[in-house]
Each structure stands twice: as structure tokens, then as C-alpha cells.
Amino acid sequence: MKRYSFPHSGSALALPLASRRRFVQGLAAGGVLLGGAASLAERAWSQNGDTATGSAPVLRGTEFDLVIAELPVNFTGTARVATTINGSIPAPTLYWREGDTVTIRVTNRLAEATSIHWHGILLPFQMDGVPGISFPGIAPGETFTYRFRVQQSGTYWYHSHSGMQEQTGMYGAIVIEPADGETIRANRDYVVQLSDWTDDDPMRVLAKLKIQGDVFNLNQPTVIDFFRDVSRDGLRSAIDKRQMWNQMRMSPTDLADLSAYTLTYLMNGVTPAGNWTALFRPGERVRLRFINGAGNTFYDVRIPGLKLTVVQADGVDVEPVTVDEFRFGPGETYDVLVEPSQDAHTIFAQAMDRTGYARGTLASRPGLVAPVPVLDPVQWLTMADMMGGMDHGDGGMASDMQHGNHGAPMDHGAAPGHGTSMSHGAGMNHGAAMNHAAHGQDSRAPATARVRHASTEYGASTDMRVDMARTNLDDPGVGLRDTGRRVLTLADLHTIGGPIDPRGPEREVELHLTGNMERYTWSFDGLEFGRSTPVRFRYGERLRVILHNDTMMSHPMHMHGMWSELESPEGRFQVRRHTIPVQPAQRISFLVTADALGRWAWHCHLLFHMHMGMFREVIVA
């Protein structure tokens, strides 16, 4: 039986153990400090006020008023100031109905400009909330009115798109009821919004990363690790294991830019010590709407003792698939059904770098807790993560990588839209690179395999390039490969109903995800946003976007305004997403129907990567 334990602080010796534990676990009653029931406008600092824990307040209807203001918070024992929406972290959960027109008046009570972006929501570009692209932003004291018709259903979220405000507390959930009523049956329905909090000013955190890119990585390989490897595997093997990393000046444990060294992980705004709890009655089926609203954290989520049946990804119905665990990055959402079998289950979300976790409980009575698992050990990135694929298409990878947990078939020929002839028509464009090995045949050719690095990837902005990327979608990712647990992969996800557009792509665009850890700069094609030109989609076209990850980190890539319809390596429709995690040395492709006029943001949803330049403007015209 797993014992109740504190996070594996291992070699993070510095802070006295008690205060380090306090930082990572947080205060049991951590959260926004409230001054009684005072209205937002008259809110004053109150030393003795209650703290807001538990789920965020719920707002329903078609008219919403959101007020953005700074408020004192205390998650770790240190009082700080957060940017909040209507005084809570997370912000209120907005309940919409598909088909309604919603009006949201957002009032800015900060001293700086703000914005709210509706993540994954289809709407006119002027309502998308990205300052400098959609609109000028909401100035201090100003009220901006968003108004748009809700064209979809499912679980989404909203957050600031200004500065670092998302990191300091401006995020909340959106639950949209389908027009025809909910088809997913559950007795209970909870939003589980995971996020991360730093007591440090996020701009200071970023400044530190600019000075030392690995400043928060306390899991570096050490001399002691080396001797341990020597005694276990022999000198030659220990040297070989490190040789490529050392020669390339890269760290095999570069899993996350931030860690529990500066972050506290929250579940619905509640620290691990606070133990956010969702109640159920025995025999009930519970729906958990997992949202990753973190700034920089990939979470690996599981509920020991329970299987998770994934029914929605990014708000869109998928063929139900039952797994033990899933990983998701900032921006992604998964709706999961569980049927608790015991009085209490721990909802365990460990950070990908294994320095900490967010945690909650599914309980049949308030106050119950279940054992919290020990954090998994940190695993080094493998050859496949560094260099990609030696074979394309199949799962055979570097010898130290296994995935033994994929029972689901990878190919669903029955879904509509597959195997139809490619409609070239008169609008075929040869402007961009296009390869059709199966030109003229019925099945659509998969994405071009030939890798074309941009000419700007050979300079100071790019620290490595992957020439042979892996294209398989069935790799659960570093740290989840040998656990014995079945982990969800993109290959397991199949959108019910097929693609929204039966057309194949008329052309391809290829962009590479690039960066330089030493200089701490991130980019597409070696060009940061400030040095980039927009990517233009012709209105109405259907095109293929290839993303090729020339870095060793996973990037959750989010294109605003339009769906990204992920393809399998064979070129068949896989799943509709708004945020796609691209793994190290991986090459993926997705189809986009450019049906939304205007200018849109497209970026990695790791906040600091976005901020450092992994960002593009997409113009649909």
C-alpha cells in the first residue's frame, strides 16, 4: 500500500526541509484572502479574512460581468499579490449554452492593460482577446464588451493574454452545454482546473531564465550519478550514456523550465495541502473536466485505483478510451469519466519534471483522504527524444524505450472523411512545398516526410536541429514509458464524427519549433516573433500544417480561431484539437480549414516560451 508521502525533494538540499515542504505543499488554507462579504469595489485588505478554497464560483446565463483586480493571496505562507477575475482563483466558471449569444463585460481595475482570451472558442477575431492582434487590450479603468455566438460545446477555459497575468491568477473554466442537451451521462460533474503558482514575480523568473537557462533544474546529472552508473553498468556504458549530451551541451533532464523550486501546483486553486475535494455517492459516475491552466507545467494525471475513461479532448467528443493516466500540457483539456470504487481516491497530477504535484480527493464524505502516491523518479530523455526516429511509422525506437501499453488499434477506417479522393479542383496552389506520392490515387498522401529546415535555423537562435524526426503518435512521452500503467497518447484519440471538412489539404506549410536553452530564446524556424512575418492562410482553403520539433522539450501548440485536425502518420484524420502537444524530436501534421477571417495568434502555450518568441501571427484573408 502506498504510503502518504511528501514530494521527493531528493537532492534539492537548500531550503530547510520544513519550509521547502511548506512551499511545495502549500498552506492548507492557501488562496485568495477575502475581507468578509465586501463587494469587489470596496474590498480591503483583511488580515483575518477567510481564504477562498474549493471550487470557483459559477456564473450562468448570457450576460456576464467580470472585474479584474489585484488581490492579496497566500499559498505558501508568504503573502503575495495576484491578478484575479471577480476575486477568485480560479476565476468564476462560466456556464454557456451552445447557440446562445453571450455578452461579457470585462472591467479592468489593474494599473496596467489587461485582456481575456477565450481558449479554444470559435468567434470573430476581434473578440479573441489578444492585445496587439485582436484588439488594443483593455486599458486600466476601461470596460470592454465581448459579444459572440457560442458555436460549440464542451469544456474550455479563459485566461488573460496580457503580460504574465495568466501566471498570477487570471484563469477560469468555461463549460458549454450542447444545444441538444448533454449526451455524456454522469451523476456528478466537476471542473478540475490544474494550474501553477509562483511567489516570485514571473518577470523576475523570466529574467533569471535569461541569465541561466537551467536555473530551476535541480535534477541535473551529477558526479555521484556517474559513479552510481559506473558501478551498475560499467565505465564504458556510463560514459556512453552521457557522451552525446555533453558534446551537445544539453541536459538530459531538461523536462521543464520551471520546477517546484519556484512553483506550487494547484488543483482548482487549492494547494496539495489544501486537498481540493470532490464528493460523490457510492455507485455514481463522476465526470471530471480536467483543464491544464498552468503557465509552464505538463501534468501527468492519474487516480490510483480508478481507470479513467476519456470522452472529450479539447472540448470535442472522442471515442471513449480507458486509460490509467494521461499527460497534458498548458491549454489542453480532457473530460474523463470515473466510477469510484472506494470511499476516497486521490486525484494525483504530478509535474512532468517530477519535482512536485497537484492533488485532490474524490471522496464519499468530506474530510476523507486516500494515500498520495510517491512521485515517480526522474527519467532522462532518451535517444528518441534527442534525435527522433530511426524508423518511421512503427513504434520501434531507441533500445531503451518501450511502450507496452497500447492495446487500442491505431487505424479506424470507418470514420468518414478517410480515403476519399483529394479534391484539388482549380484552387490548387504550388506555391509551397508539396509532395504527392499518391497523386491521382484515392487515398490522401501523408505529410511530406522530407525535412526542410528553415535557413534561419543555422544561427545563434537555434541550438539543435533534428534531421530524422519521429512521426508516431503512440509514445506516451519521457517518464511514462515503462511504468506499467496504460497512458493516453494522441494515437488513442479519435474524434467522433470525423473531420469538420472532408477536403484534403490543397497545400502544405512546414514550420519548425526551435530554441536555444543557453540564451533562453524560443522561436519558430529560428525566428522569434519580433523577427517574424505572418503566416497567411487563404480564406476558405484547407491546408496541412507540419510542425517539426527541433527542440528537446514538449510544446503544446495552440492556434487561435480555427481547429487543428491532427493526422496520423499515414495521413488519416486522427483527432480535432485546439492545443496539440508536440514531443521532442517529433514531427506532426494537422489540417486546418481557414474559415475564420482576421489575424490570429499561434503559439506554444508554455507561457515563457510564448513570451520569448515562439509565437506567430496567422492572417486569414
Partner 1 sequence: MTNKYNLLTATMTVLVLSGSAFAQGVPAGAADHGAHHGAAPIPSERASPPSEAAPTASDPPSVAPAPATREQPAMDHGEMQMQGGSPPPDARDPHAYSDGFVRGSGKYSLEPGFRLRLGDEHRYGALLVNRLERSYGKDDNATAFDAQAWFGTSYNRLVVKAEGERSRGALEHARTELLWGHALTAYFDAQLGIRYDSGEGPNREWLAVGIQGLAPYWFELDATAYLGSSGRTALRLEAEYELLVTQRLILQPRIEVNAYGKSDRERGIGSGLSDVAAGLRLRYEITRQFAPYVGVEWVRRYGETEDLAREAGGRSDDTRLVAGIRFWF
Nearer to partner 1, 74 or 516 (CB): 516
Nearer to partner 1, 11 or 187 (CB): 11
Nearer to partner 1, 357 or 524 (CB): 524
- Residue 138 CB, shortest distance to partner 1, in Å, is 12
Nearer to partner 1, 196 or 463 (CB): 463
- Residue 64 CB, shortest distance to partner 1, in Å, is 25
As given in the structure block, the three cell numbers for residue 237 are 556504458
514: left (phi over 0), alpha (psi -120 to 50) or beta: beta
Nearer to partner 1, 132 or 283 (CB): 132
Closest by CA to 525, choosing from 535, 538, 515, is 515
For residues 31, 37, 40, 43, the Cα torsion angle rounded to the nearest 10 degrees is: -80
Biggest CA-to-CA distance, the chain: 73
| Residue position matching grid coordinates 506550487 | 264
Nearer to partner 1, 218 or 580 (CB): 218
Are 363 and 350 within 8 A, CB to CB?
no
How far is the C-alpha of 572 from the C-alpha of 445, rounded, in Å?
9
How far is the C-alpha of 421 from the C-alpha of 323, rounded, in Å?
34
- Residue 594 CB, shortest distance to partner 1, in Å, is 12
How far is the C-alpha of 605 from the C-alpha of 603, rounded, in Å?
6
- Residue 534 CB, shortest distance to partner 1, in Å, is 5
- Residue 343 CB, shortest distance to partner 1, in Å, is 39
Nearer to partner 1, 51 or 160 (CB): 160
- Residue 359 CB, shortest distance to partner 1, in Å, is 24
Q: Name the CA radius of gyration of the chain, rounded.
A: 23
H or E segment to which residue 524 belongs: strand 521-524
251-263 in b/e form (b: 16+ CB < 10 A) is: bbbbbbbbbbbbb
For residues 462, 466, 472, 475, the Cα torsion angle rounded to the nearest 10 degrees is: -70
- Residue 389 CB, shortest distance to partner 1, in Å, is 8
Are 552 and 558 within 8 A, CB to CB?
no
Nearer to partner 1, 496 or 597 (CB): 597
Between the alpha carbon of residue 51 and those of residues 30, 34, 36, 87, 263, the distances in Å are 7, 6, 10, 11, 20
- Residue 272 CB, shortest distance to partner 1, in Å, is 22
Cα distance between the two ends of the chain: 59
Nearer to partner 1, 94 or 473 (CB): 473
- Residue 167 CB, shortest distance to partner 1, in Å, is 13
Is residue 73 exposed (0-12), middle (13-18) or buried (19+ Cβ within 10 Å)? Answer: buried
- Residue 132 CB, shortest distance to partner 1, in Å, is 3
Is residue 94 exposed (0-12), middle (13-18) or buried (19+ Cβ within 10 Å)? Answer: buried
- Residue 548 CB, shortest distance to partner 1, in Å, is 10
**β-pairing, 325-328 with 299-302?**
antiparallel
- Residue 123 CB, shortest distance to partner 1, in Å, is 14
Nearer to partner 1, 97 or 392 (CB): 392
How far is the C-alpha of 594 from the C-alpha of 562, rounded, in Å?
7
Nearer to partner 1, 44 or 223 (CB): 223
How far is the C-alpha of 346 from the C-alpha of 548, rounded, in Å?
37
- Residue 561 CB, shortest distance to partner 1, in Å, is 11
Nearer to partner 1, 230 or 383 (CB): 383
- Residue 604 CB, shortest distance to partner 1, in Å, is 12
How far is the C-alpha of 438 from the C-alpha of 491, rounded, in Å?
23
H or E segment to which residue 229 belongs: helix 223-233
Q: How many residues are recorded in the chain? A: 621
**Is the preceding omega at residue 140 within 30 degrees of 0, hence cis?**
no
Nearer to partner 1, 418 or 616 (CB): 616
Q: Looking at 89-154, list the stretches that DSSP marks H as alpha helix, in order from N- to C-terminal side.
A: none
Q: Phi and psi (nearest 5°) for 174?
A: -125, 125
- Residue 76 CB, shortest distance to partner 1, in Å, is 16
Nearer to partner 1, 50 or 467 (CB): 467
Between the alpha carbon of residue 198 and those of residues 25, 265, 282, the distances in Å are 13, 9, 37
Nearer to partner 1, 186 or 509 (CB): 509
DSSP 234-280: -HHHHHHHHHHHHHHT--TT---SS-TTTEEEEETTB-TTT-EEEE-
How far is the C-alpha of 303 from the C-alpha of 388, rounded, in Å?
31
Nearer to partner 1, 524 or 563 (CB): 524
How far is the C-alpha of 514 from the C-alpha of 525, rounded, in Å?
6
- Residue 209 CB, shortest distance to partner 1, in Å, is 9
